[in-house]
Structure 1
Amino acid sequence: MASFGMRGMSQQLGIKICCCRVCTCINFGFVLSRGGLLKLLQLGLATLCEGLLIRCGVPYADSIGQALTSFLTTTAYCFTTTAILLVCYCFSEKSYGLIRQSLFETLFNAIACCMYFSSASYMGFACVVWLHPQFLVRPGFLAYPAMTATYYMGYAAGLLHAFDAFLAFKHYKGFR
């Protein structure tokens, strides 16, 4: 699959129905590119993490402590910024080139990677120290497996953001 670039994008705008295109304000070419799929994966992991944290972690916030708050903050920050970037790239051909060639996306992804790794590590510590003993003595205690899955997904999201930071840095330096 070719890397997303400024040339040839207008052929991917909108949806082709018979002999014409509709919704030409939406650039589906970006969504199907490597960068677009990476953004969708980042959004998906952030959504899954946030859902598990709220559904299974919040009721045990007293046991988990600040690890829950840290992870919730990380997923909310990363989801919001990634969603804004995805919307900008899908509705504006120029946004990709302008934002991607700036230092913003490189720094955002590098910081998101660090935040995911640190909050996932903290959640892993909380799971082992505070949730695992409860899991061993309380039947049906779902917080431990859910939070374990969450911090594993946090590491995966961190890796995705690290890869995206690398790609953004390459674009920033002019290597495509």
Structure 2
Amino acid sequence: MASLGVRRMNQPLGIRVCCCRICTCINFGFVLSPGGLLKLMQLGLATLCEGLLIRYGVPYADSIGQALTSFLATTGHCFTTTGILLLCYCFSDKSYGLIRQSLFETLFHGLASCMYFSSASYMGFACVVWLHPQFLVRPGFWAYPAMTAAYYMGYAAGLLHAIDAYLSFNLFSPDELNYATT
């Protein structure tokens, strides 16, 4: 079975323009593969969460408290690492073969999933306890719906990272563990 996201040998790299190919150093095949689309969705959700947190959450940071800081740190770190992985995989098939099946990818996505679930839960608690009462009495108080949307997207991002952790665990080679003990 071919692993997700690996370029087939007969699939050329780059962009076809008339009779030639340009940008052959970029593997656009990976971006359009299930693994690449999963990474793009992770980046998209992290971007949306970060934007909502900064636009609507930061002005009410004194009300939300550490839930905002926790969620901002989670989205920022996960966005950065996922972006670096996506760039590596787009520019190098060898990187995909080495990193994707390594313990790093499995641990990163597992940890990212746990971080998203915990920070989204904390944000949900903060929304219900501190923002919802203000939403009921202040007209035009958009922080509550925006933070609610952010923590729902945080749960979705946690689920995507959990799926990615599972897929990378399936590619993980247990021979590496045996090699380390000999």
The bucket for the TM-score relative to the shorter chain is: over 0.9
Partner Cα separation in structure 1 for residue 94 and residue 173 of structure 2: 18
Question: Matched residues, percent identical?
Answer: 81
User: For residue 24 of structure 1, what is the aligned residue in structure 2?
Assistant: 24
Mapping of residues 149-164 of structure 1, within 5 Å: 149-164=149-164
User: For residue 130 of structure 2, what is the aligned residue in structure 1?
Assistant: 130
Deviation at 1:37, TM superposition (A): 0.1
Alignment-mate amino acid for residue 147 of structure 1: M
Alignment-mate amino acid for residue 61 of structure 2: A
The CA RMSD over aligned residues, in Å, is 1.3
User: For residue 34 of structure 1, what is the aligned residue in structure 2?
Assistant: 34
Alignment-mate amino acid for residue 82 of structure 2: T
User: For residue 119 of structure 1, what is the aligned residue in structure 2?
Assistant: 119
User: For residue 79 of structure 1, what is the aligned residue in structure 2?
Assistant: 79
Q: Deviations over 1:29-76 (max 9, x none)?
A: 100000000000000000000000000000000000000000000000
Gaps of 5+ in 2: 175-182
Q: Deviations over 1:55-104 (max 9, x none)?
A: 00000000000000000000000000000000000011100000012100
Q: Deviations over 1:99-158 (max 9, x none)?
A: 012100000000000000000000000000000000000000000000000000000000
> Does residue 5 of structure 1 match 2:43?
no
Secondary structure at the aligned position of 2:26 is classed as strand
Partner Cα separation in structure 1 for residue 101 and residue 155 of structure 2: 27
Q: Deviations over 1:5-47 (max 9, x none)?
A: 2542x72410011221100011001000000000000000000
Q: Which has the higher mean CA deviation after the structures are superposed, 150-159 or 12-21?
A: 12-21
Runs of 4+ in 1 over 4 A off after TM superposition: none
Alignment-mate amino acid for residue 102 of structure 1: S
* Contact 2:7/2:29 (<8 A) preserved: no
User: For residue 169 of structure 2, what is the aligned residue in structure 1?
Assistant: 169
Mapping of residues 49-88 of structure 1, within 5 Å: 49-88=49-88
* Contact 2:7/2:30 (<8 A) preserved: no
TM-score, length-scaled by structure 2: 0.91
- How many residues are treated as equivalent by the alignment? 172
Alignment-mate amino acid for residue 13 of structure 1: L
